[in-house]
Every structure is written in C-alpha cells, then in structure tokens.
C-alpha cells in the first residue's frame, strides 16, 4: 500500500466565509498479482489508514480476495475503483468450504455475506469500469447438487451494506454473485446509481441471485440499475421505508418484489412508501409481485417460518414498460409456506395486510393472459388497489384481459374477471 497526500479544497457556507479543508491522505492498494496471495489484508489496511477524510484507490488490476472483508466504521472517505479491478475468475476464492464456514452473519433469516461495508458519508465510485466478481459459476454448479438449493447455510451474499448512512455508491458492476448481490440492512439515506448486475452463469444459472434486497432501511434510491438475474430483481423486505427505483432495466428475473414478509411469528413488520418510475422489464416473470407467509408457522428461517404481522402500503408505480412477461404483470400471493414450496395449509389466513397500491401507466407485451393475479388474505384483505392506463397485449397482438382476484376490496380503475388460484407459491402465483 502506498500512502500520500492530496490537496483538497472545498467551499462551504459558514457565516459567509470560505474554508479550506486541507490535505487529503491517499492510500493506493497494491495488488499481489497472484491468486496464491490474499489481497484482503492489504484492502483492510488501506481502508483503516485512510479513514476519516482520506481517499483509497484501487488500481486497474485484479485483486484476489480469499477471506471475508468486514469493513466497519468508515467516516468521510472516497473509495475509487479504477479500471478493470476486482475482476476475473478468482476475485472471490473458489474455496467453497471456507466461505460456508466463515461468511459473516448479518442478523436476519440466518443469512450471511462475504463483504460487510458500513460507515457514514462513504463515496464509492467504480467510474463505470470497476467491478466485483463473485466467482458464481462455481457456486451455481455446486448448489444444484445439494438437497437444499434455497438459502443454503453459509452461501454468502456478495456485499452487504450494514449500517451505511449518507453515502453514494455509483458506477460499479457486479458479476456472478455467489447468492444475493447486495443486501442493504440498517442503512439510511443512500444513493445507489449507475449499477450493473449480471448473475448469468457461464455454465448453469441459479436461483437466489437477487439484485438487491432492503431490510430495516430507509431513504434508499436505486437509479439507473441494469439487472440480469434469475430471481428477485430488487426486493423490499422487513421495515423498508421510502425506497425509490427509477430509470432502470430488469432482465429475466422475477421483477420487483415486496417480501417475502411475515416470516417471523408474531413479529410486526412494515413496508412503506415505494416509488417506482420509468422502469423497463424484459422477460421477467412479473413487473411487481408481493409475497407474504401464511399465519401458520412451519419451521424457521431462512427456509421456514410464518405467522408474522404488519402491513405494506403507499406503493406507487408509474411509466412501466414490459416486454415478454412470463406471468401476471402484477401478482400477490399470501401463501408462502415452509421451504417456499406448495403444500397443505391455509392460503387465506395471513395477518399481514397489503394496501394502497397504484400502478399508473404500464404498456408492452406479455406471454400470459393475466394482467393481475391477486391472492389476498381473508383475514386482512387487500384494499385500495388502483390500476390506470394499462395497455398490456399478448405477443400475438390481442389484449391480455384476465384480472383474477380473491379477497380484494375497494379496487379502482379495474374489475375482477375471475377467481384467483389459491395454492402455495414462492414466486407470486400458482
């Protein structure tokens, strides 16, 4: 690692005077140049030495990360990822047993991560070329051979923003994440923009390769994201508030997800104030779908649960464009069960309520006749569901005309045309 200083000037208003901030310490992370050497210690050292007002520079080369990164307590730092760095087939080690035993728990659903990042006023910039490669091809082939292919213990997320506040992450690409790409928990007032996620496997693809998930977080803006994956594109989970998704393109996954939620028995959780605008969906299963667990608890997270309480409300989406949807454009299933699979149980007893959802402007094509498929709870019916300016056609040019629903009250701008299927679902409909 090389350290130097850089003159940094900033003007700010303080009684009408201009202030000079002074010299900024700069740390350049030296790469080992070989996958036999773990670059994680050098990364940790640079971030520590140039914390509190400094700048950390990654050079245009490959850094080999063979151990977990737990970066906490950052304050007022610039992190520049220049050129094609943190890339290649061995960014994250191929040592799967190591990661299963050492990935970092982050306190929800018994899940874990390879890279924990927290702090305040962090400015992480990939300048359109920096990227992280999760070495997912090894994981995707390995997980298909396991009896549990969903939420396998220790299978890490690529990066977790845990307690990150007042920060901006921009211009980065994420390739072949081990599992979820980005989990955002206990984080507030962050902008995540100009981000590419591509979790398409070179050999096989995998489920649980979500683009991003928010939990216990607020005031998070996703702007100009492009996501290629096989699961939730972006998902809002427990206690996500004031989330904005705009000017983004989503490919081949399940679409924007609310949930799953209601997984923890008797625990009250909410999702509030989602704004989605100018988002395009290409060959996704849905544009928007919502999934809650039933009131019956079966097992424990991550693959079991149920019996949770709460509500999701104030969700407004406008100017959506869809191309070749594979299922209902807008779907609700309140019948997530143990292991996320169909089975016996009550699909209408969830105590988690969905209300105040508006979609204003959705145009494009679909392979499904179902515009909506809303399987809501009889215990807490869905209320105030508004659909306006919907123009979705089948690929043969005919209008998609099925609006299926159950336990929906106070709908606006549309009428139910038939009964919805009631069956266990992990992906939004039967």
**pLDDT tens digit string along 22-41?**
689 999 999 999 988 999 99
Domains in the chain: boundaries: 27-419
DSSP letter at 208? -
For residue 147, count other CB atoms closer than 10 A to its CB: 5
What's domain 27-419's superfamily in CATH? Single-stranded right-handed beta-helix, Pectin lyase-like (2.160.20.10)
289 near 254, Cβ under 8 Å?
Answer: yes
Going by C-beta distance under 8 Å and a sequence separation of 6 or more, which residues neighbour residue 261? 237, 238, 269, 271, 291, 292, 293, 308, 310, 312, 352
For residue 340, the model assigns a pLDDT of 46
pLDDT-based confidence at 88, cuts 50/70/90?
Answer: very low
Which among 304, 206, 216, 292 has a CA at the least distance from the CA of 253? 206
Residue 87 has pLDDT above 80, yes or no: no
End-to-end CA distance of the chain, in Å?
55
**pTM confidence score:** 0.93
Alpha-carbon gap, residue 151 to 166, rounded angstroms: 30
Residues 262-276 have a mean pLDDT of 97
Could you tell me which residues come within 8 angstroms of residue 397 by beta carbon, excluding any fewer than 6 positions away?
none
Q: Which two tokens stand for residue 109?
A: 């659903």
Candidates 133, 194, 231, 356; catalytic one: 231
Q: What is the pLDDT of residues 352-390, one digit of tens each?
A: 999 999 999 999 999 999 999 999 999 999 999 999 999
Token representation of residue 426: 């992990």
CB atoms within 10 A of CB 344: 8
Neighbours of 141 (CB within 10 A): 14
Active site residue 231: yes
The widest CA-to-CA distance across the chain, in whole angstroms, is 70
Residue of higher predicted confidence among 300 and 270 = 270
Instruction: Report residue 262 as tokens.
Output: 């209601």
Mean pLDDT of the chain: 91
pLDDT in tens, 95-148: 999 999 999 999 999 899 999 999 999 999 999 999 999 999 999 999 999 988
Segments of 176-287 assigned E as strands: 182-185, 188-198, 212-215, 217-228, 232-236, 240-251, 255-261, 268-282
| Tens digit of each residue's pLDDT (9 = 90 or more) over 307-359 | 999 999 999 999 999 999 999 999 999 998 765 444 556 899 999 999 999 99
pLDDT of 89 above 90: no
């Amino acid at each position: 690692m090389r350290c130097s200083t850089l003159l940094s000037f900033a003007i700010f208003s303080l009684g009408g005077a201009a202030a000079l901030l002074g010299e900024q310490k700069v740390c350049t992370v030296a790469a080992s140049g070989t996958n036999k050497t773990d670059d994680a210690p050098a990364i940790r050292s640079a971030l520590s030495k140039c914390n509190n007002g400094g700048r950390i520079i990654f050079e245009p080369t490959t850094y080999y990360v063979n151990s977990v990164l737990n970066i906490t307590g950052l304050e007022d730092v610039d992190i520049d990822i220049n050129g094609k760095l943190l890339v290649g087939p061995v960014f994250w080690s191929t040592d799967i047993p190591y990661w299963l035993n050492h990935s970092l728990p982050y306190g929800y659903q018994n899940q874990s991560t390879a890279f924990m990042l927290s702090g305040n006023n962090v400015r992480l910039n990939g300048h359109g070329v920096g990227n992280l490669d999760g070495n997912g091809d090894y994981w995707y082939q390995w997980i298909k051979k396991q009896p549990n292919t969903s939420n396998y213990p220790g299978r890490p997320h690529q990066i977790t923003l845990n307690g990150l506040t007042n920060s901006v992450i921009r211009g980065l690409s994420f390739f072949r994440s081990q599992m979820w790409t980005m989990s955002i928990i206990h984080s507030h007032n962050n902008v995540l923009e100009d981000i590419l996620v591509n979790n398409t496997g070179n050999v096989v693809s995998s489920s649980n390769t979500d683009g991003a998930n928010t939990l216990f977080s607020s005031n998070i803006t996703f702007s100009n994201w492009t996501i290629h994956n096989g699961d939730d594109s972006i998902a809002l989970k427990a206690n996500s508030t004031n989330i904005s998704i705009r000017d983004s393109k989503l490919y081949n996954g399940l679409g924007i997800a609310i949930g799953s939620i209601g997984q923890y028995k008797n625990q009250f959780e909410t999702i509030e104030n989602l704004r989605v605008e100018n988002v395009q969906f290409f060959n996704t299963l849905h544009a928007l779908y919502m999934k809650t667990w039933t009131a019956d608890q079966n097992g424990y997270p991550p693959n079991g649960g149920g019996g949770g309480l709460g509500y999701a409300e104030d969700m407004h989406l406008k100017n959506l464009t869809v191309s070749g949807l594979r299922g209902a454009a807008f779907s609700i299933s309140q019948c997530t069960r143990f292991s996320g699979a169909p089975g016996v149980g009550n699909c209408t007893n969830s105590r988690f309520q969905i209300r105040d959802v508006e979609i204003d402007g959705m145009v494009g094509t679909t392979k499904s006749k179902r515009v909506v498929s809303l399987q809501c709870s009889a215990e807490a019916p869905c209320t105030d569901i508004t659909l306006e300016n919907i123009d979705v056609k089948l690929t043969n040019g005919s209008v998609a005309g099925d609006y299926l629903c159950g336990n929906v009250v106070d709908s606006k701008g549309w009428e139910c045309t038939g009964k919805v299927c009631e069956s266990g679902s992990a992906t939004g409909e039967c």
